[in-house]
Structure formats: structure tokens, C-alpha cells
Structure 1
């Protein structure tokens, strides 16, 4: 099957882009509503924290509020960290929680992180909470309008005669059924506005809850230290794997070849006619050793990445996958060899997991270059529930983080499973 750069490579006879896009849009709307519900929860907590800060400030003005400052700031930090965790779970950027706030009123007010958290709690308790309430009103009203005729019909006659729906006078069954015409409008508003409102609500937190430059640098150093240790562990594990493969497989085959050749030499001395059988067995063992050695070499660096390109290598993986898989690639320029190898192994492991565990009917692998990043996404429509504790996914994460990349797995029960990997394009 032909494979080329800048165009989609399809390996499944089923081509349903419209159905796939509609389902993706539906999942995006449900995802946005889920985050708006989560934002409403943290908005209520932010409102409580804001009231606590206001009460503490009034008590400080009265001269009795200083003992309340540490507890109030700890509560504010706890609510802000809850929002940081929520925003980190939604998206590829992790918002790292800062260290505990300093003790004392003056030191706390001088801390830039505390000031940004105070600004966030004001905006999230007002605008953020309002965005959640407004956005969730549309789907609730859509359900209410779609079922209005049913529960209006169930009302007692004396109440049904006086029932009204806002400015819409409802006096009989046709007018009650006409209320259902509002439901598609509200559903359309939900589809159009939900994602935008969720992003706008999260924008305040992403701007105000990021740690300061000093904290970010120290966290970055700690992250690089941990990544370096993980890289060394992964490298040692890879060396052990190669050593086991060579020792348990190839070496045993070569020992068998040596033994069989010795037996053939002794047979030649006694009876040349009996040397044929051990020579044939030695040839078979040598061929098996050569095949195993080639298999080990391919796991170190696939030759197809050297001979062709990452797009061609992924096309080969998709063609060999038991689940119908589509490759959507747009890579105008080749990435660094180590980056391509990491992307290749990530897709190979992901497709292996899909074939073994997901019960999926289709899979899509998308590869794009965005600025200086290689963005890789693997999506399947299986049963979901993938566990990142599995050795294969842990191996992907270690390989990706070794390149200072990011690895995000979203696999709710019932699916779909979405694996996002970003890597620096050139190393």
C-alpha cells in the first residue's frame, strides 16, 4: 500500500470520517460539560474560601483576626491546589503545586503566589461559577423542554389549565408539544458554547495558578533529576533485556551449532555418511540463531526508520495490526532519529495493547508537527479502562520523558482510549 508524506494513509476498508467526527464532537461536548461541572465544584469551594478570606480580613481590621490567618491561607492553598489538579488532568500542561505559604500576615501578602491565588479565588468564585451555571442551564432546559408535554399532561386538570412556560402560554396539548421545539435550539447552543465556556473558565486558573519563575525552576530541576534517574533505570532494563535475549536465545543456538559441528567432525572421521544429519541440524540451529539475532537488532532500532521514514514505519505497524488502523500523518520534515525511534516504539506498544486488551473495532494514529514539537495521538473505540501501571505503558512514559516529552493517557471505562505523546522535533 502506498505511503507518502502529507496525506492520510488508510489501512481499513471502512471509511466513516463523518461518523467519527460526529462522535468526536459529541465526546468533546460531554468532556466540556464534565469539566464545567468540576469547575462548578471548585467554584463553590472558591466562594467559601473567598468568604473565609473576607471574614479574616474584617477580623484583622478589628484586631482579632491574626490567629486566623494561617488556617485561612492553608484553606485557600488547598482550594487552589484542587483547581491545579483539575486543570492538570485536563490538558497536556501540568500545573505544579507550590510549597506551603509563608507564616505571618506580612510575609503572606508579600508572596506573589498568595496574591495570585487571591486574584484567582475572586475570579473563579464569580465569573468561573457563573460560566458553569450558565453553560449547564442549556442541557438541563433541553431535557425539560423535550419532556414538557409529558409532565404537563400528567398534571391535574385544574393545574394544567393555568400552566405557563415563561412567556409561552400553555393551554392545550399542541401548545405543550410546541415547547419541545426549543430543545434543539438549546442543544445547538450547548454544542457551540460548552467547549468555549470550559476553556474560558480554565483560562483564569492557567494564568493565575502557575507557580512563580523561581518555584518553576526548582520544580523543573527536580523533574529533570527524576527523569534522569528514570532514563538510567530504563537504559539498564533495556540492557538486561538485550542480554537475556542474547544469552537465553542466540547464545544457546550458537552453542548448539558448535556441539553439532563437533559431532559432525567426529562422524566424518568414523563414517562420512552419518555426518549429514548433524550438519543439517547445525544449519537449522544457525538459521534460528540468525533470526533471533535479527529480532534483537530490530528492537534496538528498526531498520525501516533508517531506510525510509517514520510515516512508512507507522504504515507497516498499522498494516500488521489485527485491528483496522488508519494512519493520519503530516510530517513535512524528518525528526531526529532518536525521536522517531521513540515515536515508533510508542505506537508499536499502543497498537499491541489495543489488539490484546481493548476489543476495539477501529484505531487511528495521528502524527503532526506543531511548531517544534512532534505530536502523536493514538485513539481506539474499545472498552477503555487502560491501566498505566502496565509495563508497556510505563516503558512508553519512560522513553518519552527521557526526551523531555509528555505522555497523557485518557481511558475512561467504556472508552474511547486516547494516548497523547509530544516530543521535541529535533534533539
Structure 2
């Protein structure tokens, strides 16, 4: 409570300081840009002014985030183009540029409106600590009651008691004023609804391309495995059986050895097909569920692996499959590269999200952009999830996958 009140009061006080500064800056840059708008210097000058303005609004987002206790997103679109004239013209067309300018101009009246919160907070704090400072400012011309409160020890401690009693009211006034100010800042300095939709559409387009590429690569892998594995073994078995048939028809020789060879080849082909099926969708997921499937993976690992999971309820098949393959690939990386002595798999679920964490005590330094982890990221992003890798040098390495699982 005290920390929040302190942050709110600091926010209001700094707004009173920054408001006039930002107002003057916005006014001057607007006038200069307007005067230069008829010359070839306008785009570079506007670019330089916008660079400074965005540093100021970055500070405003940070101040608002402290009060709102959540990040305030940056709304800017990337400005392509190497020369300042091109970038300057792009910044003129960016709605976020003018929203920044609007906030710099509005900060003064907003800060003045929040002055009531500053007064309430300062007066209450001054009343609480009255015995420490009122003795230094005597005033003999006060009304009797005020004179007793200000100029006697009993009156000063009475002010302290009043300040403590009214502290919740002052705290509410201060935090409400700061929160309203921060919300106004976020409303202007964050992306608007249309901008969020456009950004989301771009993200989905990128994700769709990655999913298509991942599916094409998976189909190529399956085709390659079928051609080089099961198909080759089945063809060899067919040739062996044809040779055995020719032997028996032409010379009547026994073909027991050839038949046994063909049988072994067919057994190998069947094992190859089963391995391929497990790579597409492991049957254990359907038969026993995600937790038991991960326990089976942990049991097959050459190092101690602990699986921590509560009751996950019913999960979509695609989510179970993605979680299984993320875990399998993560464990494979631990065995190959991490030099770890133990590993832990943690599964937690909220109504809308399944979180999977794979953590090992290895040497760290894993490359989150490597081909293996990038393939897992694509699999997770195909379900609108996220995958993050934390692997400082010396370890530990943590892979966190979050998968939406709302019904």
C-alpha cells in the first residue's frame, strides 16, 4: 500500500515537472516543422524532432506502466528507407507520431488536474509528521483551535492521529488521480484497436507461412522416410520372395532361407512404419494421455527425469501432440548437448492455457534460434502459442511452451 501510494505520488509530482517541458517542446517542434514544411529540410527536421519525442514518450510509457502495473506497448511501425527524407515522410503518415504529440500537449492540463492528488498526499504526510517540523514555523496570529493544533505538543500529535486516520482517504485520492493519468497516457501512447488488428493480421500471416513451411518439411520427411525405409524394405522382401518362387518353380529347390529373409525384411518394414506413425502422432497419447506419455519419455531417458503434473483435464489432441513433441525434442537436446545430471518436466493448466516447462541443470548456452528449437517454435505457433528458451552460459536451460487450450 505504501509503495503504491509512493509511486502514485511520484508519478503526479513528475507530471507537474514534465508537463510544461513537454508542452514547450511540442509547441516549438510543431512551429519549426510548420515553418520548414515548404523546404527540403522538412523531412530530416521532422525525423530528428520525432526521434526526441519518441524518447520522451518512452519515458511516459514507463511511468504509466509503473502505476498500471502492466507493460504499455509501443505502437510504432518500422520506418523503412535509408535516407532521412523517406523516413521523415513515413513518420508523418504514422498515426502514432501524432498521438505522441497530442499527449505531450495534453500532459499540462492532465498534470494540473492531478494536482488535487498531490495536495491530498502532501498534506496528509505533513500532518502525520507534524511533531517533527511544526515547531520550526511558529505563528502567533492563528485562531485558537488552529493555534493549539500547531503550537502545542498535544495539538501536533493530534494532527498526527488525524493524518493517520485520513491516510486511506488520501491514499485513494492519490492513487486514483495517478491511475487516471496513467490510463490517459496509455490510451494515447499504446496501439489503437485498428493498429492492434493490423499488427495481429501481420503476425498471423507470418505464422501461417511458417506453419505451411513446417508442414511441407514434415511431408518431405515422411516421404523420405517411407522411400528410404519401409518402401525399400518391402521392395527387397518382394524381390526375395520372387527369387524363392523362381527357385521352387524351376529346380524344386527348398526356399526356406529366402522366405525367412523376406520375413525379416517385412518385420523391419513394419517396425519402420510404426516408428514413422509414432513420429506423426504417438499412439500412447490416445491410449494413455499426455501425462503418462511424458512419463514414458522420462522413463526412456538415460538420466533422471521428474514429471510434475496435476490433473490437466481433457486437452485438445493437437495441444497434446505439440506438448509431447516439444518434450521429446527438449529431452533429446538435453541428452545430446546439455551434459546434464537431471531434468524436470512441469505441466500446469489454467482454463485457457497449458504451460509446459522443461528444465535441466546442464551447461546452458543453447541457441534458441537453432533449427531444432525453431521447428518446435513453429509447431507451437501453429496453435497460436509461444515458446521461449532461457539458457545462460553455465545453465540451467529452461524451455517454456504455452499453448492455448480453451474449449
TM bucket (normalised to shorter chain) is 0.5 to 0.7
Displacement of 1:401 in angstroms is 0.6
Aligned to 2:344: 364
CA distance in 1, matches of 2:241, 2:227: 20
Measured against aligned partners, the alpha-carbon deviations of 1:331-362 in whole angstroms (never above 9, x if no partner) come to 33121001100110011111111111111122
Aligned to 1:278: 258
Aligned to 1:416: 396
CA distance in 1, matches of 2:54, 2:257: 78
Aligned to 2:99: 112
Aligned to 2:50: 73
CA distance in 2, matches of 1:222, 1:60: 33
Instruction: Answer yes or no: is the 8 Å Cα contact 2:96–2:191 preserved in 1.
Output: no
Secondary structure of the residue aligned to 2:344 is: strand
Aligned to 1:224: 204
Secondary structure of the residue aligned to 1:252 is: helix
CA distance in 2, matches of 1:116, 1:282: 79
Instruction: Answer yes or no: is the 8 Å Cα contact 1:56–1:72 preserved in 2.
Output: no
Matches within 5 A, 1:54-73: 56-57=25-26, 59=28, 70-73=47-50
Instruction: Give the aligned CA root-mean-square deviation in angstroms.
Output: 3.8
Within the candidate set 384, 388, 392, 2:372 is matched to 392
CA distance in 1, matches of 2:400, 2:327: 10
CA distance in 2, matches of 1:246, 1:377: 33
CA distance in 1, matches of 2:96, 2:400: 38
Displacement of 1:371 in angstroms is 2.8
CA distance in 1, matches of 2:103, 2:403: 31
Secondary structure of the residue aligned to 2:92 is: coil
Displacement of 1:74 in angstroms is 2.2
CA distance in 2, matches of 1:369, 1:114: 43
1:304 equivalent in alignment to 2:293: no
Displacement of 1:96 in angstroms is 5.9
1:98 equivalent in alignment to 2:76: yes
CA distance in 2, matches of 1:83, 1:380: 39
Secondary structure of the residue aligned to 1:244 is: helix
Displacement of 1:244 in angstroms is 0.5
- Please list every run of 5 or more consecutive structure 2 residues that lacks an aligned counterpart in the other structure: 1-17, 37-44, 66-70, 80-89, 112-181
- After TM superposition, the structure 1 stretch with the greater mean CA deviation from structure 2, 400-409 or 380-389, is 380-389
CA distance in 2, matches of 1:283, 1:369: 47
- Please list every run of 5 or more consecutive structure 1 residues that lacks an aligned counterpart in the other structure: 1-48, 88-92, 124-202
Aligned to 1:334: 314
- After TM superposition, the structure 1 stretch with the greater mean CA deviation from structure 2, 71-80 or 284-293, is 71-80
Secondary structure of the residue aligned to 2:221 is: helix
Secondary structure of the residue aligned to 1:103 is: helix
Secondary structure of the residue aligned to 1:292 is: helix
* TM-score, structure 1 normalization: 0.59
Residues 219/70 of structure 1: CA separation in 2 closer, same or farther (3 Å cut)? same
Measured against aligned partners, the alpha-carbon deviations of 1:51-91 in whole angstroms (never above 9, x if no partner) come to 98566347459x65766654232233367679999x9xxxx
